[in-house]
A and B are shown apart, each in its own frame.
Chain A
Amino acid sequence: GNSVTQMEGPVTLSEEAFLTINCTYTATGYPSLFWYVQYPGEGLQLLLKATKADDKGSNKGFEATYRKETTSFHLEKGSVQVSDSAVYFCALGGPYNQGGKLIFGQGTELSVKP
């Protein structure tokens, strides 16, 4: 079945460091891919998405490219801030018709120190 694997955390970085959080997936068909962020005590916010191969999603300095050949959707940011401290979830969306499931990776906790 479909699945998502994320790199384990927690990840601790200094402010202005480069961030990569790895995400790989297994899926049949042509899923959409998402990164969600969850700040402490809050719900999930969509950070970025990509709906087909070679699409690049970007938002708030974060980027991820849908790589079908490597089945990956790694999250990157060139310079992290303390305010980026959160849990990041990679997710795979099933078919939209009839209410597709959203399959999550295990989450990666990011802590950015001043």
Chain B
Amino acid sequence: DTEVTQTPKHLVMGMTNKKSLKCEQHMGHRAMYWYKQKAKKPPELMFVYSYEKLSINESVPSRFSPECPNSSLLNLHLHALQPEDSALYLCASSPPVGGGPGYTFGSGTRLTVV
């Protein structure tokens, strides 16, 4: 299995809703990432987990809450989002040491906040 699987592919939520994005990989990667991407712009790093511990938080607002329940799963919990949070949310994983195939991205969740 050489994929990162993200669900759902599309999500529409109101500003008072609570929802979660899910990401799963079975490549044995021990680093996992959340990125946010606006149309035709480069992805912006949000969070990095290394060995299931949060290692980088790029000053992301608290309405985004990451969780790494185990080495294969990564969640992003969403609450009280704003319309400007509408974007493509990408999950990625990589081997933490020694190189290898590099970063693998999922196909993303396209989020619309109404």
A: residues with CB less than 8 A from B are 32, 34, 36, 42-46, 49, 51, 87, 89, 91, 93, 96-102, 104-107, 109
B: residues with CB less than 8 A from A are 6, 31, 33, 40-43, 45, 48-50, 55-56, 88, 90, 92, 94-108
Q: Quick check: A93 and B96 within 8 Å, CB to CB?
A: no
Q: Quick check: A89 and B42 within 8 Å, CB to CB?
A: yes
Chain B: CB-nearest residue to A89: B42
Give the Cβ gap from B67 to chain A, nearest Cβ, in Å: 16
Q: Quick check: A43 and B88 within 8 Å, CB to CB?
A: yes
Q: Quick check: B107 and A46 within 8 Å, CB to CB?
A: no
Q: Quick check: B102 and A99 within 8 Å, CB to CB?
A: no
Among all A-B residue pairs, the 10 with the closest Cβ atoms: A104-B42, A99-B50, A43-B107, A99-B31, A43-B108, A99-B48, A44-B105, A99-B55, A97-B97, A98-B50
Q: Quick check: A99 and B105 within 8 Å, CB to CB?
A: no
Q: Quick check: A104 and B43 within 8 Å, CB to CB?
A: yes
Residue of A32, A34, A91, A107 touching B40 (CB-CB under 8 A): A107
Q: Quick check: A96 and B107 within 8 Å, CB to CB?
A: no
Chain B: CB-nearest residue to A106: B42
**Cα distance A46–B107 in the bound complex, in angstroms:** 12
**Cα distance A102–B33 in the bound complex, in angstroms:** 10
Q: Quick check: A99 and B43 within 8 Å, CB to CB?
A: no
Q: Quick check: B48 and A101 within 8 Å, CB to CB?
A: yes
